[in-house]
Structure 1
Amino acid sequence: MTLLTATDFHQWVRCRRQWKASGGPFPRDMTSEVNLRETARTIATGQALLAGDARDLLPDRAREENVPATVRVLRAGIAPEEMLGWAEETAAAVARGEAFINGLVLSGNLALVVDWGYFHGRGGGWELSLFRPATGLRGIYEDEAALLLEGWQGQGYPLAGLHLRYLGKKDRPDSSWSEEDWRGLFRESTLTGRAGKALKRVVPERQELQDYAARDRDLPADYRCRQGCPLCEGAPAEAPEGRYSVLTLHKGRHLGRDLQSRGIFDLREIDQSREKDLTERQRRQIDSVISDRLFIDRRGLAAFLGRLQWPLFFLDFEASSQSIPPFQGLAPYEHTPIIASLRCQSEPCGESRPSRFVSLPGTDQREAFFHWLSRAVGDQGSLVVFSKPFESAMVRQLASVAGEAARGQALVGRMVDLLEPFADFLVYHPGQCGKVSLKRVLPLFTGGGYEEVRVRDGLQANFSCTRWADQAVASGSSGASGSSGAPGSPGARAAEGVSVFLEGALKGTPRRDEPYLASQEEVCAYCDVDTRAMVDLVEALARLLEEPLS
């Protein structure tokens, strides 16, 4: 018997081609691993708060190895005997009327984890709960509940209710929160009725998935998913390369697809006089690509550079975010700064002096962080950042914790966003392909890049910062317990258990050619490249204005 998982089902519904290409339910990328980590963190925290007296049905070996149920079940296809034994343990607990966590139910050939279950005498059946790291109800949870409903009732077990327990989006724990307050972080939505209605749609999908898996059938040649993914759509035979594709239009993916549907694949084929939906920025992009020349709005660029007041302080934060807030005042998934790189340049084209702040993993040092920043930048000069909304939010958070909101607002008032001249298309290089990120514009305008650092992007930096904290909290390191009063250890252990398990399971496979986890020095080096890049970009933009008109 080939066992599948809820992850297989979700992939199948989203895109059958992606499911076949994935080769199984194990995560294919860092984003998927992050989602699994936060799912495990939320489940473990919810169980600790709400189901502390329930029996843990996770197989003994998984508990010994600290492998959460949310990833242990991914072995269903390669360890069916373990899954069957797990399901039998769950059946025995149900027969005894014993409350449990981490149970397993088979729905057809799908192995489904039940995060928490207990018998409700007055309701005459079992109350089943799924803990999920979302801040609202999502369709995939209705599908999962429908599969669980089918499997539970298929075993002949009585059901009183199916519940989704998710996170309060705006809740911000503080030092006054009691354990009861923490329980309230988990909102509850009853899915019994919705799951019942969804069965008409979900069951045929499940049956089709299992049929394809059992027979290893090929998909129909004309199958296309609703998302229009590259595997289904492919590149049109007429598609031009790189910068000329209509799909590179700045913030114009839908317009690009509409143009393709009308047989227009190349930016050079667009009649701008007839395409009324084109924005001014997209027109500048097209003109730059066709002429193969840099576009410069000299007046606008001069006005932007004129806002800079010396000395300049180039500032970049690397942050962490978790589903369960680790520190006081944070909402679920709200970023909190962990590392800052700062460069001070006293005069145009002068040397820049670097400095940095690095927080101890798992420890709330935001007050000291703010005092360092406030002293380092003084009272004069612009703070140059790339994407002001994020960087200003970090400064305001630090200032609030330090009790210096006014000082924090003063620092934000000194910020100049280096993203502006690129996002507003005051300058545009034909090689940008509609993108305005720092990594896209840096090599085109300065020749620099990120080749010498191992950290590839902000996601990996965030991932690494979060793992350092989880490792510290899970190991009980001194001071690494957060300050929010949250039951952090169960969630930290579960999240870290996900990554350790996946590192072993995927080692040596094409999906994991090197570890995602970067060292603290590697993330600091990445952050330093960001601030060095901003120094170089300001100088490059100033040189553009010095060049004669051609």
Structure 2
Amino acid sequence: MKPLTKTDFILYRNCPQNVWVKIHEPSQYSKFEVSDFEKSLTVMGNEVEEIARGMFPDGYLVEKRSDGAQELTKTLVEQKASVIFQAVFATEKYLAATDILVWNASADAYDMCEIKMSSTTADEESEVADDEEGKNEKPAPKKSSGRELQFEYDLAFQANVFENCGVKINKKYLIRLNKKYKKAGDLDFSENQLFITEDKTVAIDDLMPRVLIEMEEAHHLLSPAEMPTRPCPCYYRGRSSHCTAFSYINKDVPEYSVHDINRIGNSKKLLKELLDEGILHIEKVREDQLPKIKEAKEGQKPSKPRKQNQVAVHKSKKPIRDIYAIKAELSSLQFPLYFLDYETYPHAIPFFDGYHPYQHIVFQYSLHVLNAEDFKAGLPPKHFESLILDGDPAERLVESLCTNIGETGSVISWYKKFENSRNRELAELVPLRFEFLHSVINRTYDLMDIVDNQHYVHHGFKGSSSIKKVLPVIKDLLALPKNVLDYNVLAVKSGTDAIEAYRKILKGEIVGSAVEKKKQEMLEYCKLDTEAMYIIWKFFTNLVAQSVQDGKTAER
């Protein structure tokens, strides 16, 4: 077995079997495609590391994993080079590359610095790219006790390897972005500006002996040619926490299983009970096994029977419909209706003045507008859009929105927390439109609530309220052709695709006529999002009208 790397050691701590497959059966592991979201995080992480080197202008870069990297590192260390980027050392068992080594003359040793793309702020918003519970948006890297411990294990692994190779390490630092930093001109690398440096020496020194023991255990467990026999820890986790090779390791688990029950990852005891009883298929789950719905205390909202409803509709294949509740939701809307969707780029390093790390650049919107007269006449909504690919788009995009959204009428989004958060940020960036943007916030209705609040539950949603799970079901119910409103036929299929397209255009990786082609693809994608919202709204509107006419107000 090749020396165990820091990356594989961190992965091992999450799931040993997954790393065993990665090391011993790489052809199998490679079959599991890395998500676009994970790829974008890798690219962003590399960019953050490169920019952080600006704090040390005299550093020498050791080309990562290149031939002779270890010999070059050894020579630089012997010469007491002031700053070394990507220094590499290895033993027979382990290999580590550290982001930055800084010579500390007073200690006659090197200080070790690890760069992370996480923020220093614990309350960072969890909205970066695609989330199953919303508009397919996933959370931004966020400081937490689990993530913090992972960072400390990361540093401890490196320190153990380097000291095992005879390199004395003095201080151990964690360098990460300062969420409170606001760009004004050139990036500011001075203390406590763009980056914060945290001294982790005490924590790492205390952790190193324990990590060394785990390193030995990992090497011992991963070395044999046969997969470890102990159970895969991911087996007792919800689907979103499964390792890359989960389906290969756990071949008996169906594609849609109890691991997919809504928020089952937060009900670990329930999941374990089901699995220990041998229940993998959702149709085998008994009603008495699911948690009872507790009565709401005064001033609290009642809990929603998400798990119970998901299991019930999967068994019956009949939707749950609360027409009174749906009607109440839709009755709150006022024409004209504005179906609004943003595309954004949440880059770790702010590109434009006035932005913080990870603040979203709102570079595109799609807007379908339906007035009362057109609705009564059976006419489709009018479509407006804007896509700005040069400079800071905030002011121009807001002015375009201001032209197309009137002073009255409901703004409809899917997962409104995202759009409203962007509107608050835009209000700070474009203060002259503060009142307009806060008016939009106050008028925004979340169409996802009908699904998320369990007013309409269909087995095809599979416990999700993502628009990309809901739309195909509604299409089937409306008997629409498969290629209509189909994300899969688009060149830009997701928010992550839109982010990557914007990033490449911004950085000059797409140029010339290819820019115009990509622009049209981005416009098609965003337009589909708001058209999908209109179709879903129309479905629920017609469902209410027909049910009231038929005298059916609830089906459970």
TM-score w.r.t. structure 2 length?
A: 0.78
The equivalent of 1:497 in structure 2 is none
Q: 2:230 aligns with which of 208, 218, 222?
A: 222
The equivalent of 1:515 in structure 2 is none
Task: Please list, as runs of the form range in 1=range in 2, the aligned pairs for 1:333-372 lying within 5 A after superposition.
Answer: 333-346=358-371, 347-348=374-375, 349-361=378-390, 363-372=391-400
Change (3 A) 1:211 1:452: same
Percentage identity across paired residues of the two chains = 20
The equivalent of 1:511 in structure 2 is none
User: 1:523 is matched by which residue type in structure 2?
Assistant: M
User: What displacement does 1:120 show?
Assistant: 1.6
Pairing 1:455–2:492 present: yes
Hey, what's the Cα distance between the residues in 1 that align with 2:13 and 2:384? 49
Gaps of at least 5 residues in structure 2 are 120-142, 237-241, 294-303, 477-484
CA contact (8 A) 2:221 2:228 kept: no
User: What displacement does 1:184 show?
Assistant: 2.6
Q: 1:147 aligns with which of 148, 157, 160?
A: 157
Task: Please list, as runs of the form range in 1=range in 2, the aligned pairs for 1:21-36 lying within 5 A after superposition.
Answer: 21-22=21-22, 28-36=34-42
Hey, what's the Cα distance between the residues in 2 that align with 1:432 and 1:105? 48
Change (3 A) 1:247 1:273: same
SS of equivalent residue, structure 2 residue 204: helix
The equivalent of 1:261 in structure 2 is 276
- Mean Cα deviation higher: 280-289 or 294-303: 280-289
Pairing 1:134–2:108 present: no
Change (3 A) 1:22 1:179: same
Change (3 A) 1:268 1:225: closer
SS of equivalent residue, structure 1 residue 319: strand
Larger RCO, structures 1/2 (Cα 8 Å, 6+ apart): 1
- When the two structures are aligned, how many residues end up with a matched partner? 479
The equivalent of 2:175 in structure 1 is 165
Hey, what's the Cα distance between the residues in 1 that align with 2:216 and 2:355? 43
The equivalent of 1:501 in structure 2 is none
RMSD: 3.1
CA contact (8 A) 1:383 1:416 kept: yes
- Mean Cα deviation higher: 199-208 or 130-139: 199-208
Pairing 1:58–2:41 present: no
The equivalent of 1:186 in structure 2 is 195
The equivalent of 2:107 in structure 1 is 123
CA contact (8 A) 1:446 1:540 kept: no
Change (3 A) 1:520 1:108: farther
User: What displacement does 1:459 show?
Assistant: 2.5
The equivalent of 2:315 in structure 1 is 290
Hey, what's the Cα distance between the residues in 2 that align with 1:240 and 1:178? 50
User: What displacement does 1:372 show?
Assistant: 0.5
Hey, what's the Cα distance between the residues in 2 that align with 1:180 and 1:196? 28
User: 1:193 is matched by which residue type in structure 2?
Assistant: V
Pairing 1:252–2:264 present: yes
Task: Please list, as runs of the form range in 1=range in 2, the aligned pairs for 1:306-385 lying within 5 A after superposition.
Answer: 306-346=331-371, 347-348=374-375, 349-361=378-390, 363-385=391-413
The equivalent of 1:9 in structure 2 is 9
SS of equivalent residue, structure 2 residue 383: strand
Hey, what's the Cα distance between the residues in 1 that align with 2:272 and 2:157? 35
User: 2:62 is matched by which residue type in structure 1?
Assistant: L
CA contact (8 A) 1:133 1:166 kept: yes
User: 1:350 is matched by which residue type in structure 2?
Assistant: L
Pairing 1:525–2:524 present: yes
Hey, what's the Cα distance between the residues in 1 that align with 2:279 and 2:235? 21
Hey, what's the Cα distance between the residues in 2 that align with 1:248 and 1:142? 32
The equivalent of 1:106 in structure 2 is 89
The equivalent of 1:430 in structure 2 is 459
Pairing 1:94–2:77 present: yes
- Mean Cα deviation higher: 533-542 or 226-235: 226-235
Hey, what's the Cα distance between the residues in 1 that align with 2:291 and 2:225? 46
The equivalent of 1:513 in structure 2 is none
Gaps of at least 5 residues in structure 1 are 60-71, 74-81, 478-517
- Mean Cα deviation higher: 146-155 or 417-426: 146-155
Which digits, 9 at most, give the CA deviation of each residue in 1:363-421, with x for residues without a partner?
21201110110111122322111111101122222232121212110111221111110
Change (3 A) 1:161 1:276: closer
Change (3 A) 1:345 1:525: same
User: What displacement does 1:241 show?
Assistant: 7.5
Hey, what's the Cα distance between the residues in 1 that align with 2:335 and 2:424? 23
The equivalent of 2:423 in structure 1 is 395
Which digits, 9 at most, give the CA deviation of each residue in 1:453-475, with x for residues without a partner?
13332223223323332337x99
CA contact (8 A) 2:234 2:246 kept: no
SS of equivalent residue, structure 1 residue 519: helix
User: 2:426 is matched by which residue type in structure 1?
Assistant: L
Hey, what's the Cα distance between the residues in 2 that align with 1:141 and 1:280? 37
Change (3 A) 1:247 1:18: closer
Change (3 A) 1:271 1:21: closer
- Mean Cα deviation higher: 425-434 or 154-163: 154-163
- Mean Cα deviation higher: 5-14 or 222-231: 222-231
Change (3 A) 1:470 1:9: farther
User: What displacement does 1:534 show?
Assistant: 0.9
Hey, what's the Cα distance between the residues in 1 that align with 2:234 and 2:273? 15
CA contact (8 A) 2:185 2:353 kept: no
The equivalent of 2:211 in structure 1 is 202
Hey, what's the Cα distance between the residues in 1 that align with 2:188 and 2:317? 63
Which digits, 9 at most, give the CA deviation of each residue in 1:440-491, with x for residues without a partner?
111111334323213332223223323332337x99x9xxxxxxxxxxxxxx
User: What displacement does 1:176 show?
Assistant: 7.4
SS of equivalent residue, structure 1 residue 98: coil
Pairing 1:40–2:46 present: yes
CA contact (8 A) 1:57 1:90 kept: no
User: What displacement does 1:51 show?
Assistant: 0.2
User: What displacement does 1:437 show?
Assistant: 0.9
User: What displacement does 1:191 show?
Assistant: 2.8
Hey, what's the Cα distance between the residues in 2 that align with 1:470 and 1:111? 33
Change (3 A) 1:3 1:30: farther
Hey, what's the Cα distance between the residues in 2 that align with 1:5 and 1:267? 39
The equivalent of 2:126 in structure 1 is none
SS of equivalent residue, structure 1 residue 163: strand
Hey, what's the Cα distance between the residues in 2 that align with 1:53 and 1:160? 20
User: What displacement does 1:331 show?
Assistant: 3.0
User: What displacement does 1:298 show?
Assistant: 0.9
CA contact (8 A) 2:345 2:361 kept: yes
